[in-house]
Amino acid sequence: MSPHGHLQPMISSQASAISGEIVVPGDKSISHRSVMLGGLASGTTRIEGLLEGEDVLNSAKVIAALGAKVERDGAAWVISGTGNGALIAPAEPLDFGNAGTGCRLFMGLLGSYNFPSTFIGDDSLSSRPMGRVLDPLRLMGTQVLNEEEGGRLPVTLQGPRQTAPIEYEVPMPSAQVKSAVLLAGLNTPGITTVIERVHTRDHTEKMLIGFGADLTVETDQDGVRRISLVGQGELKGQDILVPADPSSAAFPIVAALIVPGSDLLLPNILMNPTRIGLIITLLEMGANIEITNERLSGGENIADLRVRSSTLKGVKVPANRTASMIDEYPVLAVAAAFAQGETLFQDVGELRVKESDRLAAVARGLEVNGIACEEGDDWLKIIGDPDGKNYGGGTVVTHLDHRIAMAFSVLGMACENPVSIDDGQIIGTSFPNYPELMNGLGANLAVKPL
């Protein structure tokens, strides 16, 4: 069911063109971290451009329950933090809704505090593995007072009087696990070190340095990163401007590529190198994407994008690109459906533990809409057809996964037969007003009133 307890079907019918300009909401990863570190730092943090999706709003509620003061000032959010190490015990279980990032990062943060905290979420979040965060926390001395089978929510953590610093090599490519250990290290004496073989999104490292933490990153000749944080330092409130989320921009970008006659502008898109795998892949497929006005803002790379309808060809997406586009595979599958030839996703097993089993959800969504694909344990092959306007007509099951809902809404924009989506409401977790914004560009999304 949806966060509000019921499904709200959405139908996507053919669009004439996807044109104009879209202001894509703030980056979800940066928004979660801004709220969290703002609530932890001493002094005031002012955040502009915060994503006001349900996932981030839940993080804001949680940091307030832990002692921070969270206020709105016009369009900005102003947070007065407690000071590093000074969070207070929550009075009630902390509800993260659908948000894996919020839940796992706060587990790291709170795992070092000597009070119990209970983590709960919706059906999707409650089915996702938390052991990947609980394992390093246990090494630091955190007790897991309660967990459901397989390290699932509800989970209750209790930190020791003082956590022990660890050196931890993250066993899977996961920015959430890396971040959880670093956040636990913030309230731990000595140096906490995380080693990552695959370079995942680095917003936690960048933002911790921005807030004044003593954090260093060394990269060896094989690209292995060693991230060391000196614990118990002071964090100071910052002014933050959140750039537009490339993972949300992915949906209008692919829509403009596959709907004939489209010409779309997307200003201020985050172009952090750990996040642009989709853009690189689409360019290799022959996409007409112009990247202009490249600049730095708050330590992050930003650019404006112009996207026009394109003739695409299938590609083999290299396995070493997976981390930099992990959330973009569902919509890339839709682009691949309209490409000439086959597209192969390799080494994408992590997709099975996202908000849904995304490999299976994408494969079923393609099949039910007449698109040929083959699914392996950790790979997916899509057999494209540039003349795929006869696709569509199917109903896609979203399994409480916002990105499945948006990806298949994009499919419907380019087909003569409408695509039905069993629930559009879940999109509000990451992309508020998605139907309205897309319809403003020429899409034809109808959301059934509740």
Binding residues for ligand S3P (CB under 6 A): 29, 101, 174-176, 179, 201, 326-327, 350
- Nearest-CA neighbor of 214 among 238, 195, 232? 232
CB of 393 to ligand S3P, least distance (A): 30
- Tell me the sheet residues that pair with 421: 10, 396
> Which string of DSSP letters, residue by residue, matches 82-148?
--TT-----SS-EE-TT-HHHHHHHHHHHHTSSSEEEEE--HHHHTS--HHHHHHHHHHT-EEEEEE
Say how far apart CA 428 and CA 99 lie, in whole Å: 12
Phi, psi of 63 (to 5 degrees): -65, -30
CB of 294 to ligand S3P, least distance (A): 23
User: For ligand S3P, which is the closer residue by CB, 48 or 350?
Assistant: 350
CB of 161 to ligand S3P, least distance (A): 29
Q: Is 265 helix (H, G, I), strand (E, B) or coil?
A: strand
Helix (H) or strand (E) segment spanning residue 79: strand 76-80
Q: Which of the residues 327, 401, 422, 423 is marked catalytic? A: 327
74 burial level (CB within 10 Å; 0-12, 13-18, 19+): exposed
User: For ligand S3P, which is the closer residue by CB, 117 or 176?
Assistant: 176
Say how far apart CA 404 and CA 201 lie, in whole Å: 21
86 burial level (CB within 10 Å; 0-12, 13-18, 19+): middle
CB of 296 to ligand S3P, least distance (A): 21
User: For ligand S3P, which is the closer residue by CB, 257 or 351?
Assistant: 351
What 3 state SS string does 280-317 have?
HHHHHCCCEEEEEEEEEECCEEEEEEEEECCCCECCEE
User: For ligand S3P, which is the closer residue by CB, 326 or 366?
Assistant: 326
CB of 300 to ligand S3P, least distance (A): 14
Question: How crowded is the C-beta side of 229, counted as CA atoms within 13 Å?
Answer: 33
Token pair of 432 as six digits: 């508020």
Cβ contact 52:429 at 8 Å: no
Cα 252–Cα 422–Cα 29 angle in degrees, nearest 5: 45
Say how far apart CA 159 and CA 30 lie, in whole Å: 26
Q: Is 61 helix (H, G, I), strand (E, B) or coil?
A: helix
User: For ligand S3P, which is the closer residue by CB, 203 or 364?
Assistant: 203
User: For ligand S3P, which is the closer residue by CB, 104 or 364?
Assistant: 104
Active site residue 327: yes
294 burial level (CB within 10 Å; 0-12, 13-18, 19+): exposed
Strand arrangement of the beta sheet that strand 342-345 belongs to: 316-317, 342-345, 380-383, 372-375
> Which string of DSSP letters, residue by residue, matches 168-196?
EE-SSS-HHHHHHHHHHHTTSSSEEEEEE
User: For ligand S3P, which is the closer residue by CB, 3 or 412?
Assistant: 3
CB of 175 to ligand S3P, least distance (A): 4
CB of 126 to ligand S3P, least distance (A): 16
Which residue of this chain has its Cβ atom nearest to ligand S3P in the complex? 29
CB of 174 to ligand S3P, least distance (A): 4
User: For ligand S3P, which is the closer residue by CB, 201 or 206?
Assistant: 201
Tell me which residues are annotated as active site.
327
